[in-house]
């Protein structure tokens, strides 16, 4: 395995994210005062859904690779690809079925209601699988402006990763996706190492552990939160100031 010394190395873009065609639901993309960029696994879902899935469907490989990712010795791009491509394509339907059982975090629906009332777009940026994100968020899809995540090719015996957004050390380059949107204030919501670069680049960060540990290490300000009601109330209070 290749090793790296820092997870926050400069990204080396391989795709121009400003040229991606994003279909807004009902509106052409325009400058927004605020845009929310929200992680999925362990943020919208109660559990780290991707980690739970990969541990279930690729137990031996994930047991070796996940500790290397957390220790920043293997990049997300390397590790995620290695784990996913060790899973037989025949497991795809079971992966989707597994995702449908995952509960969402308290207050998410109320948070979506608040964003709709305030006309604040929400973009889902996940380092996990697009099929899993959609399996959980289908009831709310009309309130979400866009979803960025990893697609899979199931035409071969083993899953093949197909991410249009990989760059540098990341399988989904969240900070670059965020930078492709025009906003006065970017709000990042996340919980893990996959949200690291996005959090560093955001105007305002709502973080849960272990992301909080990485941000403390680099003295990046953030607001801790337990559920989405906390985030909603904090945004309401900040508007009132």
Whether residue 132 contacts residue 95, with contact meaning beta carbons closer than 8 Å, is answered with yes
Residue-level pLDDT, tens digit, the chain, 241 residues: 333 223 333 333 333 333 333 334 434 455 679 999 999 999 999 999 999 999 999 999 999 999 999 888 999 899 999 999 999 999 999 999 999 999 999 999 999 999 999 999 999 999 999 999 999 999 999 999 999 999 999 999 999 999 889 998 889 999 999 999 999 999 999 999 889 999 999 999 999 999 999 999 999 999 999 999 999 999 999 876 6
Residue 129, pLDDT score:
96
Regarding the domain delimited by 17-240, which CATH topology (the fold level of the hierarchy) does it fall under?
A: Rossmann fold (3.40.50)
Instruction: List the chain domain ranges.
Output: 17-240
Backbone torsion region of residue 109, taken as left when φ is above 0, otherwise alpha when ψ lies between -120 and 50, otherwise beta? alpha
Closest CA to 101 of 42, 153, 49, 173: 49
Residue 4, pLDDT score:
28
Whether residue 138 contacts residue 145, with contact meaning beta carbons closer than 8 Å, is answered with no
pTM for the model stands at 0.85
């Amino acid at each position: 395995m290749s090793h790296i010394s820092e997870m926050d190395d400069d990204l080396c873009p391989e795709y121009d994210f400003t040229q991606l065609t994003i279909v807004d639901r009902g509106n052409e993309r325009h400058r927004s005062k605020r845009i929310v960029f929200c992680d999925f696994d362990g943020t919208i879902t109660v559990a780290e859904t991707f980690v739970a899935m990969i541990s279930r469907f690729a137990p031996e490989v994930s047991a070796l690779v996940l500790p290397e990712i957390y220790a920043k010795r293997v990049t997300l791009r390397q590790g995620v690809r290695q784990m996913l491509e060790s899973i037989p394509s025949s497991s795809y339907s079971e992966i989707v079925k597994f995702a449908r059982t995952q509960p969402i975090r308290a207050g998410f629906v109320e948070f979506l209601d608040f964003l709709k009332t305030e006309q604040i777009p929400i973009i889902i940026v996940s380092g996990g699988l697009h099929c899993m994100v959609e399996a959980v968020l289908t009831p709310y899809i009309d309130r979400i402006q866009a979803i960025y995540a990893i697609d899979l090719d199931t035409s071969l015996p083993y899953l093949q990763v197909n991410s249009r957004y990989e760059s540098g050390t990341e399988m989904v380059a969240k900070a670059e996706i965020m930078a492709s949107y025009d906003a006065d204030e970017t709000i990042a919501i996340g919980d893990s190492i996959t949200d690291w670069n996005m959090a560093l680049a955001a105007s305002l960060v709502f973080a849960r552990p272990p992301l909080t540990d990485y941000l403390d290490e680099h003295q990046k300000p953030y607001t801790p939160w337990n559920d989405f009601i906390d985030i909603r109330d904090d945004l309401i209070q900040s508007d009132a100031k």
